[in-house]
Structure 1
Amino acid sequence: MRIVIVGGGVLGTMHAWHAVRRGHEVVHLEREAEARGASVRNFGLVWVSGRSPGPELATALRARRLWEQIGAEVPGVGFRGNGSMTLIRTAGEWAVAEAAVADPAVAAERGWRLLDAPAVRAVNPALRGDFLGGLHCAADGAVEPRVALPALRACLEPTGRYTWLPGREVRDAAPGAVRDDTGAVHAADQVVLATGAALGGLVRELAGPLPIRRVWLQMAQTAPLGEPLTTSVADADSFRYYPAYDSAPLAESQPQPPVAAEHKMQLLMVQRLDGGLTIGDTHAYAEPFPFDEVEPPYDHLTEVASSLLGRPLPRIERRWNGVYAQCLDPAAVAYRAIVAEGVCLVTGPGGRGMTCSPAIAERTAEELSW
């Protein structure tokens, strides 16, 4: 088949990957010169540990296996199975982690181990701060979001069945063809719209109102740490935001600091291949989103990260914000619908887009009989 994919982010690129691997011809359109949305404004986490039991966890585990396979074939994506460590500083946080690992089968499926402080430092010697222990998840991994997409495209191009056309915004999608804003018409047996948080324009015309909300967040990157951070790191505020955990004890007995509560914060910290640390994040759900970034969340992240590292956080060198699309149905891993004859819309994976995109795209390929 000849498949046209609209959207150059990780979800669109993974659809292109699966289509080409199944022998099809792909024309891949992106309105910007390069993807600039949530696919590159994220941590690069392949995050299994906090996923909800059922379809979400199954999707994340499948995606984790696919990322490992892709990483072996395309080293430029920067995949590493480094695991994660959620650090615990209070008795209440310890109780949440202890409950999470109480079922050995659940703990084994996610690669969870509850460790005391010396065991945490044995796994990740860079963590020399003050904490009681940590929840280690061996299943988690990371990729390099700013270089992964070009690396995947570079692997597809030599097949002769993949064409990348940036700077093209699709205006019409009809049975058998799409038209971009240069006037070019691209024949298509099937069209996949993977436009991320861009839900206006053609998507609105075809799909109308969607059960999707957009989420705004702030992040930053530091100078090199100067030593390996052998796992990704989270603080226990992440227990409040991931459905694998029962955070009721924290909500009742351990309120967040005001700035963290206001901005719905958790600390996530991932070391990039250049040694710098990506840190975040915040969550805002009410539109219109701010056009400027605010400083108190960065102060909070710096304070928490420094306390866990046991030394000052390296200087912040970059700050940015991003917006991603999230399904309103918490049980939905992504929103997938046929919005016109031969046109499939796939969006709404939320903050798990980088994690789950290989498996979400694989599912699309199966449902569309590629």
Structure 2
Amino acid sequence: MRVIVVGAGVVGTMHAWHAVERGHEVVQIEREAEARGASLRNFGQIWVSGRAGGEELDTALRARELWEGIGARVPELGFRAIGSLTPVRNDLELAVAEAAVARPDAAARGYKLVTADEARAINPALRGEFVSALHCERDAAVEPRTAQLALRKALLASGRYTFLPGREVREVIDTRKDASKNGRSAVRDDHGDVHSGDAVVLCTGAWLGGLVREIAGDIPVRRVRLQMAQTDPLGEPLTTSVADADSFRYYPAYASEALDALNAGQAQQPAAAAHKMQLLMVQRRDGGLTIGDTHEYEHPFAFDTVEDPYEHLTQVIEGFLGRPLPKIRRRWAGVYAQCTDTPPGSAGGTPTRVVHRQQVRDGVWLVTGPGGRGMTCSPAIAEKTADELGW
């Protein structure tokens, strides 16, 4: 087969990867010189711990397995099976961690409740004050700023992959009205060139207007903005990813009566509440720390970054590390696309559908909306597309 992939973020690149792995020829089209969106502006976490039970967890666990296999073949990805620790500081937070460990799928996630001393043995950089920690052994990390470049280098070595940057797809050609295409799917880019194949997959990320709205209409996907930062090297290993108990409030795996009690009895700090914050922290291969993040849902988004979130993060991180945070060198904002609906029969109101996958024309599929799951789940999302399309 010949597969056309539109979009060179991690979701699009993983679709290209699976197509090439299955023996097909791939043309990948990207409107920028390089992908510049949420696929780079994230933590690089393969984040199993907080996923909703059922399809979302199954997808994350399969993706974790795929990431490890791809990472063994492409060492430049920087895959590291580091796990995560979420230190807790009081009885309300501890109760949420205990409820998580009691889940029937806790073993699949690698959940374990550890004492403060055990947490420090796992991650000696955590010299601050806390009473216990939730350990998730299945969490991992890759290097987000370079992952697509490393994957593309491996794809190019196959001899069956072509990358076309700086081209924006403007039209999906209706092949039913064009006999010259012989039933093949096709798109036209802003250079006027037509690219045809046996299948077209549109992996457009947070680009939901223009062509996407024209061919798919209003889809149950929203855009979410976040702020993050990168520090100077820590000067010592941070051997796991680190989260704080505010992350319990934002991930569906932690929904429980204990979480209800936490929400009722322990308000977030004002800055954290105002910006819908949690702490996530991952060490990069150069020793620096990626820290964040905030959540902004209402349009129009702000165009600037503000300092309150960074001041809050600094306070929380220094409390866990027991030392000053290294100087922040980079600050940035990003926007990702997130499904807003839940699968039929799902409990609660938290959006848990992993991705929006829709056939929009004969031979043309739109795949978008993984939200904060994009880096985690992209290999399994692309694998499922490939399976469903019969690649």
Is the shorter-chain TM-score for this pair beyond 0.5, marking a shared fold?
yes
Query: 2:320 pairs with 308, 317, 324, which one?
Result: 308
Query: 1:320 pairs with 332, 343, 347, which one?
Result: 332
Q: Which residue pairs with 1:16 in the alignment?
A: 16
Deviation, 1:133, is 1.2
Specify the SS of the correspondent of 1:323: strand
| Partner deviation per Cα, 1:199-258 (whole Å, 9 max, x = no partner) | 111111100111011100000000000000000000010000000112211111001011
The letter of the residue matching 2:387 is: E
Specify the SS of the correspondent of 2:145: helix
| Partner deviation per Cα, 1:84-141 (whole Å, 9 max, x = no partner) | 00110111000110111124x5221110110111000000000000111110000000
The letter of the residue matching 1:18 is: H
How far apart are the structure 2 equivalents of 1:215 and 1:154?
Answer: 30
Q: Which residue pairs with 1:121 in the alignment?
A: 120
Deviation, 1:289, is 0.3
Alignment check: 8 A CA contact 2:53 2:105 kept: no
| Partner deviation per Cα, 1:60-99 (whole Å, 9 max, x = no partner) | 0000000000000000111100000011011100011011
Alignment check: 8 A CA contact 2:80 2:142 kept: yes
Query: 1:230 pairs with 239, 253, 259, which one?
Result: 239
Structure 1 segment 50-65 matched on structure 2, within 5 A: 50-65=50-65
Deviation, 1:331, is 2.9
| Partner deviation per Cα, 1:294-333 (whole Å, 9 max, x = no partner) | 1001000011011100000000000000000000011310
Specify the SS of the correspondent of 1:255: coil
Q: Which residue pairs with 1:107 in the alignment?
A: 106
Specify the SS of the correspondent of 2:51: coil
Specify the SS of the correspondent of 1:363: helix
How far apart are the structure 2 equivalents of 1:331 and 1:256?
Answer: 24
Q: Which residue pairs with 2:290 in the alignment?
A: 278
Q: Which residue pairs with 1:258 in the alignment?
A: 270
Q: Which residue pairs with 2:137 in the alignment?
A: 138
| Partner deviation per Cα, 1:40-77 (whole Å, 9 max, x = no partner) | 00000000001100000000000000000000000011
Q: Which residue pairs with 1:40 in the alignment?
A: 40
Q: Which residue pairs with 2:386 in the alignment?
A: 365
Specify the SS of the correspondent of 2:252: coil
The letter of the residue matching 1:326 is: Q
Specify the SS of the correspondent of 1:256: coil
| Partner deviation per Cα, 1:14-63 (whole Å, 9 max, x = no partner) | 00000000111100000000000000000000000011000000000000
The letter of the residue matching 2:369 is: G
Deviation, 1:13, is 0.1
Deviation, 1:186, is 1.1
Q: Which residue pairs with 2:347 in the alignment?
A: none
The letter of the residue matching 2:244 is: D
> What is the TM-score with the length of structure 1 in the denominator?
0.99
| Partner deviation per Cα, 1:157-185 (whole Å, 9 max, x = no partner) | 12111000110100111233211111111
The letter of the residue matching 2:27 is: V
Matched residue count? 369
Q: Does 1:90 align with 2:90?
A: yes
Query: 1:243 pairs with 252, 258, 262, which one?
Result: 252
| Partner deviation per Cα, 1:312-356 (whole Å, 9 max, x = no partner) | 000000000000000001131000000111110000001010000
Specify the SS of the correspondent of 1:134: strand
How far apart are the structure 1 equivalents of 2:286 and 2:207?
Answer: 31
How far apart are the structure 2 equivalents of 1:136 and 1:331?
Answer: 23
Unaligned runs of at least 5 residues, structure 1? none
Deviation, 1:4, is 0.4
The letter of the residue matching 1:321 is: A
Alignment check: 8 A CA contact 1:192 1:345 kept: yes
Q: Which residue pairs with 2:147 in the alignment?
A: 148
Deviation larger for 173-182 or 211-220: 173-182
Deviation larger for 306-315 or 167-176: 167-176
How far apart are the structure 1 equivalents of 2:188 and 2:106?
Answer: 49
The letter of the residue matching 1:368 is: L
The runs of at least 4 aligned residues of structure 1 exceeding 3 Å deviation read none
Alignment check: 8 A CA contact 1:115 1:135 kept: yes
Specify the SS of the correspondent of 2:105: helix
Structure 1 segment 167-246 matched on structure 2, within 5 A: 167-174=166-173, 175=175, 176=184, 177-245=186-254, 246=256
Q: Which residue pairs with 2:344 in the alignment?
A: none
Alignment check: 8 A CA contact 2:41 2:144 kept: yes
The letter of the residue matching 1:340 is: R
Unaligned runs of at least 5 residues, structure 2? 176-183, 342-350
Alignment check: 8 A CA contact 2:84 2:135 kept: yes
How far apart are the structure 1 equivalents of 2:40 and 2:325?
Answer: 23
Q: Which residue pairs with 1:335 in the alignment?
A: 356
Specify the SS of the correspondent of 2:170: strand
Specify the SS of the correspondent of 1:261: helix
Specify the SS of the correspondent of 2:253: coil
Specify the SS of the correspondent of 1:159: coil
> What is the TM-score with the length of structure 2 in the denominator?
0.93
How far apart are the structure 2 equivalents of 1:173 and 1:15?
Answer: 19
Alignment check: 8 A CA contact 1:178 1:188 kept: no
